[in-house]
Structure 1
Amino acid sequence: MNIDDMTPVLVGVATAAQRVDDPTEAKEAVALMAQALVAAADDAGARGLLGRLDQVRVTKGTWGYSDPARWVADAAGATQARSYLADVGILQTAVMGDAAAAIASGAVDAVAVVGGEAKYRGLRASITGIDAPDTDQAGAEPDDFVTPHGMIISRPEIDTGLVMATHHYSMIENARRFADGQTIDEHRDEVAGLWARFAQVAAANPDAWLQDGLDATAIATPENGNRMLAWPYTKWHNSQWNVDQAAALILCSAGAARSLGIPTDRWVFPWAAAESNHMVPVTERPELHRSPGFAHAGRALAEHAGMGPNQADHIDLYSCFPIAVRTQALELGLGLDRDLTVTGGMTWAGGPLNNYVIQAAVKMAQVLRADPGSTGLLTSISGMITKQGASLWSADPPAQPFANLDVTDAVAAELHPKPYRTGDGEQATVVSYTVIWGREGPERAVVIGEFPDGARTLLVSAAPAVMAAAVSREFCGRFVIAGAGGSFTPID
């Protein structure tokens, strides 16, 4: 097939990682990113790529660098490249898709997408009391800075103390159990079994942060350090972000790849990307366990590429929590009995903040190179399944030119938020709930209630009997009375 010179192609991929107990001997995050970027150029067999980069894109992590892409570009020898920073809340699908679209349009010729964390280094500094500061960039600003619009968490959710992802995802998980008609025990076993299969994939992945391969019983049982965080989630249901991991992708035009002599067996083509940025807080979603954004993204990819997400040979679903995987599978038509990760997922392979999809893209590229003719599906999430992204890739060129598809408007036309209000003495139906744990045990039960007029509300109880009942029997569908100050009392 004749491949147009402006076709975007992924030619270099690499990861970098460390597990060093002395934080003074460990690299900081930008140094790991630079290491990964140089290794990605070597993976392409073309160090000259670094001198051709028009832009280095970095996805923001927990660190405080003001212009990390400039540091990384300079350290890697790409001093001519513009620096770009994508804030938390920008889909990683969008960062990659926009880069591919810019190449396809001729606006740029070569772009690097990089991200990384060194939170294990920071954790070791805290434990040992040894100072290990990050580079201070003294107010430097990136050439391009992309920030999201709107709030992922609503003001009532913040005021109620629902500020951790664990809190929101556990409520989505409980809503799914109720919608599926499962018992608490059936649900616990299904979720733990899914996560145990992810753990087995990580056990065979040399780049995974945790390779213990825990079984379902160990994942579901809150003991041996596996404490409950927000029911029904234990520590081993959660993304693990205390990792020192970085990844880099180098995309360029087919013409640039040819001019640099990059062998075609290194080429991986982005076929299409789709994203939705319509934001509805968890409390206000008509159906907590559904995600129309992924359904629309999947259909958009299928219409463009001529194949549905369920036809992809290799899949890596964004895996911050089990319900994230389960929701995506539901909307994209994927069976939970098939392999849904190539890395092992964010609990086991590692979940560096705002960079996991780049890590997964490296692994996916390696898998696709080793399996000519196959296709790969990558997904991403921002917030609490608030924004949705998906992309198709293959070592074979696409039948249609690359397309960067935005389904935000279509999702907004379908997904209308429920109104929110408070109430005193009114009856509400429990839409979903969780019990939030502290170090010493359960601290409060939080309920999303719906009044007869359809408005939603958030209610809290710290009564031990209420918390005990909430984790032993189904609370979804029950009736409660909203009390003063946002409290609640179960009716039955």
Structure 2
Amino acid sequence: MATGQLIPIIVGVGDVQNRSQKIEDAIEPMQLMLQATLNALKDTNLSSSTEKELQSSIDSVNVVATWTWPYTDLPGLLSEKLGVQPLHKTYSEHGGHQPMRLVDEAARDVSLGKSKVAVVTGAEALASLNACVAGKRMPPPGWTMTDPNVKAASPLQLSRREENIGSRHSIGLPIHVYPLYENAFRANRGQSIEQNNIESAQLYAEFAKVAERNPYSWNYGQPASTEDAIGTVTDKNRMICFPYPLLMNAFNNINLAASCIITSTKYAKELGIPESKWIYPLGGAGTQDSDKFWERPNYHSSPSISRSLDACLVICGLQKDQIDLFDFYSCFPIVPKLACHHLNLPILHPPKPITLLGGLTSFGGAGNNYSLHSLTAMVRELRKGNSYRTGLILANGGVLTYQHVVCLSTQPRRDGSGYPHSNPLPRYITDLPIPTITANAEGEAIIETYTVSFNRNGTPSIGFVIGRLLSNNERFVANTGDGNTLEQLASWKREPVGRRGWVRPGEGEGGRNLFWFESGGRGRL
């Protein structure tokens, strides 16, 4: 270990749920974070006076960006409520990878002596907010007044901030892009559409059973959704974007918060925090693919997932087989599938846990903060003193864009070295070949991947095609050009990936390309 370098440990974790959706019970995200942080402080098992000493030593407050409410200075407001004046305040950018990035950086700061006690926290109160909107009680009673110039950020807003190839074709939301990967991954493995649906339904049924047992789950106490309920398209479980019905999509209408306390072994000993409470972050790694999903190498793998997993294991001095617990982000089934595939773990019935929460459908899609709940769950599991000693958390953000991986352990690093001084990966992956993208495509083409958006009545609405021109292999984005093509894309009978068709710029279509299975198509939706 480097001379003078400290050993960071997690000494307290806390979760909060406000399951009431009554307007009079609406609690804003800041207050949920405050309660989660106070719970994390109490989790250290210190006496009341020593716990207050720990609280007063907080010098780093790191907040995961919230979708719910547009605060002017959320870390500052939370610090004020905690009665501290931190040297470091961080409010993250948006993305589901941010909790692990903040934990990684906070642990690094503690190891370098830049921080004595760090808090990482986040919360969403979308269920309460939506109840207040529906009840026409805005702003919610008692919530912090906001700066009118600061706007809350929803996934919808984050995905449509600029005019580009995606927006011209009305594609770019998570509900669109993750299905592109599921369909390509299915075709690349030679699965039928039916086999793929069964696999996804079984996977999420297994996840639902985990959430059913998790007392911090939004759905705790409710019967887990079954494989049949998840995989069968019905009026209540309608198809959103092919191949994912509603119960394979993240559920964000929740009120949840999580928090963790990070300090050094040195200070923990001074305070008398029991070693049974210590969990060691060993290191982290993260990178990202292109923000523009049409500029990805392919749609059947995620370089950012693969490289983040590999780099984290290397920097932590671990082999895959030394990991006892995994928690893979799971907004849609494709994310844990890609992680399992890369690590050569079975997708169904794995020998080791691949989720401790139960996924963003069953546990609840806690905005950007889901993986901080993964961390609190993993800390509790590792503390039990069973056979589990080391865990790995994969946090995913954007549209399979950003990744950050962190490893936790009951023991310090085996190689005796200090906490890694930096993220071993570059911010962006730039060394992989990307096909040339053509904005105006014309000619015979082949489908690389696709999805179909559905109306609420269960009928297909619009098809999205990512394809390649046969003449030069350039990639394009297109919408379906007629009803027949749309119906074929939405069918379970024949695999569309790899099928040929024709594409051309639509006349008066605002820059859209249109794709047909029949040559010479001129119809429009």
Letter of the 2:345 counterpart: L
| Partner of residue 276, structure 1 | 287
Query: Compared with structure 1, are the counterparts of its residues 410 and 247 closer, same or farther at alpha carbon in structure 2 (3 Å cutoff)?
Result: closer
Provide the alpha-carbon RMSD of the alignment. 2.5
**Residue 233 (1) aligns with residue 244 (2):** yes
- TM-aligned CA deviation for residue 310 of structure 1: 4.5
Deviation at 1:23, TM superposition (A): 1.6
- Once the two structures are TM-superposed, the CA of residue 444 in structure 1 deviates from its matched residue by 0.4
* Aligned 8 A contact 2:290 2:296 in 1: no
User: Are the counterparts in 2 of residues 278 and 387 from structure 1 also a CA contact under 8 Å?
Assistant: yes
For residue 300 of structure 1, what is the aligned residue in structure 2? Answer: 311
Tell me which residue corresponds to 2:356. Answer: 342
Q: Is the 8 A contact 1:34 1:76 kept in 2?
A: yes
1:71 and 2:72 are equivalent in the alignment:
no
Corresponding residue of 1:160: 169
Match of 2:276 among 261, 265, 281: 265
* Matched residue, 1:327: 338
Aligned twin of 2:156 = none
- Number of aligned positions between the proteins: 484
Cα 1:266/1:389, change in 2 over 3 Å: same
CA distance in 2, matches of 1:252, 1:491: 64
Q: Report the Cα offset of residue 279 of structure 1.
A: 2.4
Pairing 1:122–2:140 present: no
Contact 1:152–1:386 (Cα < 8 Å) also in 2: no
Name the counterpart of 1:104. 111
Aligned to 2:37: 37
* Letter paired with 1:433: Y
How far, CA to CA, are the matches of 2:160 and 2:421 in structure 1? 24
Paired with 1:406 and 1:154, the residues of 2 have a C-alpha distance of 32
**Partners of 2:476 and 2:339 in 1: how far apart?**
26
Q: CA deviation at 1:396?
A: 1.4
Q: Pick which of 380-389 and 125-134 moved more.
A: 125-134
Offset of residue 286 of structure 1: 2.2
Pick aligned residue for 1:291 from 283, 286, 302: 302
| Aligned equivalent of 2:483 | 464
- How far, CA to CA, are the matches of 1:409 and 1:252 in structure 2? 27
Cα drift, residue 442 of structure 1: 1.7
Aligned position for 1:144: none
Go from structure 1 to structure 2 and tell me whether the alpha carbon gap of 1:81 and 1:111 turns closer, same or farther (over 3 Å shift).
same
**Residue 42 (structure 2) pairs with residue 49 (structure 1):** no
Correspondence list, 1:321-470, <5 A: 321-336=332-347, 337-338=349-350, 339-371=353-385, 374-399=389-414, 400-403=417-420, 406-409=423-426, 412-440=429-457, 441-452=459-470, 453-461=472-480, 463-470=482-489
For 1:95 and 1:432, locate their aligned partners in 2 and report how far apart those are by CA, in whole Å. 34
Deviation (angstroms), 1:113: 0.4
Contact 1:5/1:254 (<8 A) preserved: no
Cα deviations across residues 184-209 of structure 1 (Å, max 9, x unaligned)?
Answer: 11111011111110001111111111
| 1:174 corresponds to which of 154, 174, 183 | 183
What is the CA distance between 1:230 and its match in structure 2?
Answer: 0.4
1:476 pairs with 2:497: yes
| Equivalent-residue separation in structure 2 for 1:73 and 1:139 (angstroms) | 22
| Partners of 2:324 and 2:390 within 8 A in 1 | yes
Q: Secondary structure at the match of 1:9?
A: strand
Residue type of the alignment partner of 1:66: T
Identity %: 27
User: CA shift at 1:140, angstroms?
Assistant: 11
CA distance, structure 2, for counterparts of residue 202 and residue 331 of structure 1? 25
The reply on whether 1:27 has 2:58 as its aligned counterpart is: no
Partner of 2:523: none
- Provide closer, same or farther for how the CA distance between residues 246 and 374 of structure 1 changes in structure 2, counting only shifts above 3 A: same
| SS of equivalent residue, structure 2 residue 260 | strand
TM-score, reference length from structure 2: 0.87
* CA distance in structure 2 between the aligned counterparts of 1:51 and 1:233, rounded to whole angstroms: 48
User: How far apart are residue 484 of structure 1 and its match?
Assistant: 2.5
Q: Select which of 255, 262, 272 maps to 1:251.
A: 262
Structure 2 letter corresponding to 1:482: V
Distance 2:444 2:174 in 1: 28
Superposed displacement of residue 405, structure 1? 5.1
Deviation at 1:92, TM superposition (A): 2.6
Amino acid at match of 1:379: L
Contact 1:445–1:470, Cα closer than 8 Å, also in 2: yes
Closer/same/farther in 2, CA of residues 88 and 208 from structure 1, 3 Å limit: same
Choose the corresponding residue for 2:212, options 199, 203, 219: 203
CA–CA distance in structure 2, aligned partners of residues 277 and 357 of structure 1: 17
User: What's the offset of the Cα at 1:151?
Assistant: 10
Q: Distance in 2 between matches of 1:259 and 1:9?
A: 14
Deviations 1:350-371 (A, max 9, x none): 1111100111111110001013
1:281 Cα offset (Å): 2.7
Residues 412-451 of structure 1, C-alpha deviations (whole Å, 9 max, x = no match): 3542322211345411110000001132332101100112
Contact 1:237-1:347 within 8 A present in 2 as well: yes
Runs of 4 or more above 6 Å deviation: 150-154
Three-state SS of the structure 2 residue aligned to 1:61 is: coil
Question: Does structure 1 conserve the Cα–Cα contact (< 8 Å) formed by 2:311 and 2:425?
Answer: no
In the aligned structure 1, how far is the partner of 2:469 from the partner of 2:291?
19
Structure-1-length-normalised TM-score: 0.92
Give, in whole Å, the separation in 1 of the partners of 2:275 and 2:445: 61
Q: Give structure 1 stretches of 5+ with no counterpart.
A: 142-149
CA distance in 1, matches of 2:427, 2:39: 40
Tell me, what secondary structure is at the counterpart of 1:349? helix
Q: 1:158 to 1:239 in 2, by over 3 A?
A: same
Residues in 2 aligned to 1:276 and 1:425: alpha-carbon distance in whole angstroms: 35
